Amino acid sequence: IPDPPMGKQLQVDFGEYKAKDQNNQEKHLWFICLVLSNSRYKYVEWLDRPFTTRDALRCHEHAFQMFGGITEEIVYDQDHLISKDENAGDLILTVEFQSYVKERSFRVQLCRKSDPESKGRIENVVGYVKKNFAKNRVFTNLEKWNEQCLHWLERTGNYNVHNTTKKRPVEVFALEKPHLRPISSTINFSNVDTASITRSVRKDNTVRYLSNRYSVPLGTYKQHRDNTVYLEIKNDRLIIRYSPDGQVLAEHKIDSGKGQLIQDRQHTRDRTQGINAYIETISKRFNQQEMALEFLEKIREKYPRYIRDQLQVISKAINKNEQIANQALEYCVSQKLYSANDFFDIVSFLIREKDNKDESMDSILKIKLTNQVDEAVLKARPEERKMDIYMNILRGEVIR
């Protein structure tokens, strides 16, 4: 492919390397390379963890500051940090990268798959960095490693005569630099939406990371839906989430091999069938089963990812008092309160009200009436007289 005009094109790619530290232990490193297609002038930056989109964009800014400008177009491989998909030339970029392209106003060119010729310049740079700079170099710390790399670029990477052009990149760069478009001050990356590593869930319910496949629960992949998940690396653990700070979807130990399938046995079970049975079982515990089914389905619709937890809370509430649970169900449906926590709170409240009412009745029965009659009076009996006495009174006789 002919060299583009000066200031026309920049190529970008990523690489990995396992260096030895002072204790002869392997240290896994990642790096990004940027090269001006005409002059072959290069910039390289290293990290001791996988790149996020924000990391890549920050390195872009460092390179532009070093170059003193930006090209009209930038060529990328079809990397997950840059794009989600390409449909007959229509690019679907990640949110973070799209906002950066808009800010810097450059044209994006994605290489076709299995087409190394279109980005051969940057692939040569990646190999050059591994074989010339990194080979046999001892890693101490990341800051020192990056400092050594910049010195290497100055004395070797950008100074030695290029095998193809037969010119020194630093000398050709002096001619190309005036053709670069000047840039404003460095962008504040706090405006970029997220710094998470993202992946798309594949149809077989796996996620690719470092040449291996890691399983997620069966049914995670949904057709005609955004299947993006977020990866977090903690020590040697890979944590997969629906959102950067969301619930953990899967967690695996990172495998050092390649082409491996790392699978959790729990992920092979179709848990949706278990949920259906769980809902039916709980609904049968209510007097009005149809109302209960409708109530539970509304909860599943509102909390699809937490339905099992919701059902457990409802079951716990029913165990407290089944009769009151039926009252709580009617109240929740009438007030459209489709939440297990609301249901549990209402059951607890009604139980407390019932206990307080029973205690009040017991107190009333124990109160002694203030006008209570003396029992001695109730037991008193009138004096009994003989019939002759009353007969004498009727005859007018005086009774003494």
Task: Note the pLDDT tens digit of each residue in 380-391.
Answer: 777 777 777 777
Tell me what pLDDT residue 8 has.
Answer: 93
Closest CA to 248 of 264, 236, 267, 231: 231
Q: What is the mean pLDDT of residues 162-166?
A: 89
- Is the pLDDT assigned to residue 16 strictly greater than 60? yes
Q: Which residues contact 125 (CB under 8 A, 6 or more apart)?
A: 13, 33, 35, 42, 44
Tell me what pLDDT residue 223 has.
Answer: 72
Q: Are 15 and 33 in contact (CB under 8 A)?
A: yes
Please tell me whether residue 221 adopts helix, strand or coil conformation.
Answer: coil
Q: Which residues contact 36 (CB under 8 A, 6 or more apart)?
A: 9, 10, 42, 67, 71, 173, 176
Amino acid residing at 178: P
Closest CA to 230 of 208, 263, 199: 199
**Domain segments of the chain: what residues?**
9-191, 197-268, 290-366
Q: What is the mean pLDDT of residues 172-189?
A: 83
- Between 336 and 367, name the one with better pLDDT: 336
Question: What is the CB-side half-sphere exposure of residue 329 using CA atoms within 13 A?
Answer: 26
Tens-digit pLDDT profile for residues 19-46: 999 899 999 999 999 999 999 999 999 9
Amino acid residing at 166: K
Amino acid residing at 304: P
Distance between CA atoms of 22 and 138, rounded to whole angstroms? 6
Distance between CA atoms of 143 and 20, rounded to whole angstroms? 16
Report the percentage of the chain scoring pLDDT > 90. Answer: 36
Poorest-confidence range of 117-121, 189-193, 285-289? 189-193
Distance between CA atoms of 238 and 217, rounded to whole angstroms? 15
Phi, psi of 233 (to 5 degrees): -105, 120
- Is the pLDDT assigned to residue 94 strictly greater than 80? no
34-38, 161-165, 207-211, 365-369, range with greatest mean pLDDT: 34-38
CB atoms within 10 A of CB 151: 12
Tell me what pLDDT residue 385 has.
Answer: 74
Tens-digit pLDDT profile for residues 250-294: 899 988 788 889 988 777 665 555 788 888 889 988 999 999 999
Q: What angle do CA 119, 125, 128 make, to 5 degrees?
A: 145
What sign does the dihedral 169-174-176-181 (CA atoms) show? positive
Tens-digit pLDDT profile for residues 305-364: 788 888 989 988 998 888 999 999 999 999 999 999 999 999 999 988 888 776 666 565
Tell me what pLDDT residue 90 has.
Answer: 47
Kindly list the distances between the CA atom of residue 31 and the CA atoms of 40, 51, 99, 101, 315, in Å, as whole numbers in the listed order.
18, 8, 23, 21, 52
At the fourth CATH level, the homologous superfamily of domain 9-191 is Ribonuclease H-like superfamily/Ribonuclease H (3.30.420.10)
Phi-psi category of residue 191: left, alpha or beta, with phi > 0 → left and psi -120 to 50 → alpha: alpha
- Between 194 and 290, name the one with better pLDDT: 290
Tell me what pLDDT residue 347 has.
Answer: 92
Closest CA to 84 of 118, 53, 63, 54: 53
41-45, 49-53, 230-234, range with greatest mean pLDDT: 41-45
Tell me what pLDDT residue 178 has.
Answer: 94
Average pLDDT over the chain, rounded to an integer: 83
Please tell me whether residue 290 adopts helix, strand or coil conformation.
Answer: helix
What sign does the dihedral 286-292-293-298 (CA atoms) show? negative
pTM of full prediction above 0.85: no
Q: Which H or E run includes 144?
A: helix 142-152
Amino acid residing at 265: R
Distance between CA atoms of 49 and 231, rounded to whole angstroms? 12
Poorest-confidence range of 5-9, 26-30, 75-79, 237-241? 75-79
Under the banding of pLDDT at 50, 70 and 90, the label for residue 87 is very low
Question: What is the CB-side half-sphere exposure of residue 96 using CA atoms within 13 A?
Answer: 22
